[in-house]
Amino acid sequence: MAAFFTLHSDLPREGPGEAADVAWAAKVANLSPTAQIADVACGPGGDIAALLQAAPKGHVSALDKTASFVTAARRDWREDDRVTLLQADMARIMNSYDMIWCAGAVYFMGVEQALRAWRKSLKPGGVVAFSEVCWFTDAPSERPKALWEAQYPGMTDAAGIAAQITAAGYETVETRILSDAAWEAYFRPIDARIAALRPGADADLTAVLDEAEEEAACWRAHRDEFGYLLSVVRPR
């Protein structure tokens, strides 16, 4: 774990995403400027600025279970009373929201289980917007297949995500596939960090750097085969 955080501390974000995704979801959700938003599994808070831009007179309650990410996000947002940061478990979120935003983390709970758990935390008319990695093909190449079987054996495709949304008692308002720019917003800072950490890295750190390098290289070589689907959904 120490080696993981050597690579991952103080990065702008912990998964693919860009401000345009948040703006798109807010538009699809018809979000009010005063909206109450939860940023669930916020990591270092890479989406908070865009969420506030979508609801400049609203509030963002951002939470993550990892203390160092919460500390990093708090450092950036402590002066802004429109933001609350909590170290908390996304399975037990408090209060109610116009939008629950979850970028690249719903798989820790599973789509169906997360949507069921969050239903009670949605205000009337509220939505959940979440990005979930998925296959774009029925026949992935060996390299991405091996990578994702190790990282996320339950990974499905857009139809599989839609089925979980329906099973949770929700309907899909709209979906969009995350852009290459969203992926590079995650990978480019990691590329730079890997290059800086390589010289003198011990065995543990080298293993973490190799894994991160393979993840980026695999996406760059096979990005037509998998990606993130962003879904805006609401209870039926």
Ligand X SMILES: C[S@@+](CC[C@H](N)C(=O)[O-])C[C@H]1O[C@@H](n2cnc3c(N)ncnc32)[C@H](O)[C@@H]1O
Which amino acid appears at position 190 of this protein? I
CB 44 within 8 A of CB 78: no
Beta strands in 35-169 (DSSP E): 36-40, 59-64, 83-87, 97-103, 122-135
- Is 106 a residue that touches ligand X (CB under 6 A)? no
Alpha-carbon distance of 75 to 69, in angstroms, equals: 10
Nearer to ligand X, 168 or 202 (CB): 168
How many residues bind ligand X (CB under 6 A)? The answer is: 19
The contacts of residue 154 (CB under 8 Å, 6+ apart) are 107, 110
* DSSP structure class, residue 58: S
Nearer to ligand X, 104 or 140 (CB): 104
- Token readout for 172 is 């899909």
CB 126 within 8 A of CB 234: yes
CB of 124 to ligand X, least distance (A): 25
Alpha-carbon distance of 155 to 142, in angstroms, equals: 15
- Is 14 a residue that touches ligand X (CB under 6 A)? yes
Using the contact rule CB under 6 A, the part of the chain among 74-82, 100-108, 171-179, 191-199 near ligand X is 100-108
- Is 58 a residue that touches ligand X (CB under 6 A)? no
- Is 105 a residue that touches ligand X (CB under 6 A)? yes
Q: How, if at all, do strands 122-135 and 97-103 pair?
A: parallel
- Is 42 a residue that touches ligand X (CB under 6 A)? yes
User: Both ends of the chain: CA-CA distance in Å?
Assistant: 41
CB of 103 to ligand X, least distance (A): 4
- Is 104 a residue that touches ligand X (CB under 6 A)? yes
Q: Which of residues 178-217 bind ligand X (CB under 6 A)?
A: none
Nearer to ligand X, 89 or 166 (CB): 89
Using the contact rule CB under 6 A, the part of the chain among 65-73, 146-154, 206-214, 225-233 near ligand X is 65-73
* List of residues contacting ligand X (CB under 6 A): 13-15, 17, 41-43, 46, 64-66, 69, 89-91, 103-105, 108
